[in-house]
Amino acid sequence: MKTLKSTLALILLAAILVSSFCFPACAASAQSITYLEDGSYYITTITVFPSAQNGRAASSISGQKTRDYYSSSHEKLYSLSVIGHFTYTGNTATATNADYDYSVQVSTWSFVRGSASCTGASATASATFRHLTATAPASVTLTCSADGKLS
């Protein structure tokens, strides 16, 4: 009986240790949905990337903001993401680097061009997608507040 209790205690201790190391490394995310007049919509997801803080307050943060575009019949068409890197002091924030990524899920849509830029505390990705003969501009902006919150 004592051996069983010791074994269970060791298993519980191992589970606590594993969870304390794994969960902080997971990225945090938040989502919202925006509906457009034609019945289509996009889902915006903000993901904050984990960072090593080494016991001191973080002064930099990185994250990604993705917009997944859907038709009015709920078919995912394409996605555009901005990946931003920021520094912040508590009084100000500055975007230090921006990149973009995209994907196209439907064969009648294609990617034409894209770019990413930083202005102040914001990182922006802009792109143009094509559906048959019509083009669709898309953009997404990730902003960092002075206290390191991404929106």
pLDDT digits (tens, 9 = 90+) for 89-130: 999 999 999 999 999 999 999 999 999 999 999 999 999 999
- Cα–Cα distance between 69 and 115 in angstroms, integer? 18
Domain ranges, ordered by start, for the chain = 27-50+59-143
pLDDT digits (tens, 9 = 90+) for 45-84: 999 998 755 444 559 999 999 999 999 999 999 999 999 9
Record the pTM: 0.78
At the second CATH level, the architecture of 27-50+59-143 is: Sandwich (2.60)
pLDDT digits (tens, 9 = 90+) for 31-50: 999 999 999 999 999 999 98
Report CA-CA distances (Å) from 27 to 56, 61, 78, 126, 139. 19, 12, 23, 24, 23
| pLDDT for residue 23 | 38
